[in-house]
Amino acid sequence: MKDYLSLIKFSHTIFALPFAMVGYFMGIHTEGFGFSWRTFGLVLACMVLARSAAMAFNRYLDRDIDIKNPRTATREIPAGVISPSAALTFIGICSLLFILTTWLINPICFYLSPIALGITLGYSYTKRFSGLCHFVLGLGLGLAPIGGYLAVTGEFNLAPLLYSGAVLFWVGGFDIIYALQDESFDKENNLFSVPANLGKDNALTISVISHLISAAFMIGGSYLVYQHYSEMNSLHWIGLIIFLGLLINQHRLVKPNDLSKINLAFFTTNGIASVVFGALFVLDFYL
């Protein structure tokens, strides 16, 4: 179990899960809907299963690349801890359980489940032909807010879609930062990351632009929520300010000539940003 949790980097679920809760709690506070432990549990299960399948597939598909890279050679598949066939079985089980879980939620989630899986699994191929791979990853995680909302209401709504856009560009921006450490390796192996295509300076500029776009989506979503839900007061605005402040902070941590704080910027800063915003957003409905 420990090996499989490491394979899928289970701790990184923290990035998108709070935004799924943002969508879910918007849904239950929409007129005509309410809290359900069943739906809440199914949304959590969908998040974990879809992300587990996607991450394991990424590791499976990249096994021949990872073994060449000193930074990734110790990952479970290239290191021989988990066999490729076992990983593929794990991926299949998670994918089937994800589809089954969406069927238990409502018809629209079930009908859209193959598209969601296609995006989240398909990301792993994109780095082989496009620098947009970072934003395909963002698109996959960006399904969380609208997915949480659809699970409750079965309908689309602009506010969760704006938060989905925010997650898309937030994740795309910080994935570009994370890719800085493999710039040389990606060039040598014809992989299409933004740093490999455009260099560190330009990559960081694109990351900044992505996060500015994310900030615009976050502000727009928060404004619509404030206008639509009478229960909302100031807590989600405080969460938004903290989120945006941490976005700025990660760009202060990473410089083209100093990548020593990438892990701090990538995991710690973004993890805190997501959890704090999600927690304050939910609490704002009740305090």
pLDDT in tens, 224-269: 999 999 888 899 999 999 999 999 999 999 888 888 888 877 788 9
Predicted local distance difference test score (pLDDT) of residue 287: 86
Instruction: Please report, for residues 23, 25, 109, 164, the alpha-carbon distance to residue 146 in angstroms, rounded to integers and kept in the order given.
Output: 6, 11, 10, 6
Distance CA 49, CA 146 (A): 17
pLDDT in tens, 70-122: 988 998 999 999 999 999 999 999 999 999 999 999 999 999 999 999 999 99
pLDDT exceeds 80 at position 3? no
Contacts of 30 (CB under 8 A, 6+ apart): 152, 153, 157
Fold adopted by 2-284: Tetracycline Repressor; domain 2 (1.10.357)
Query: DSSP 3-state assignment of 255?
Result: strand
Q: Considering the entire predicted model, what is its pTM?
A: 0.95
Q: What are the extents of the domains in the chain? A: 2-284
What secondary structure letter does DSSP report for 73? Answer: T
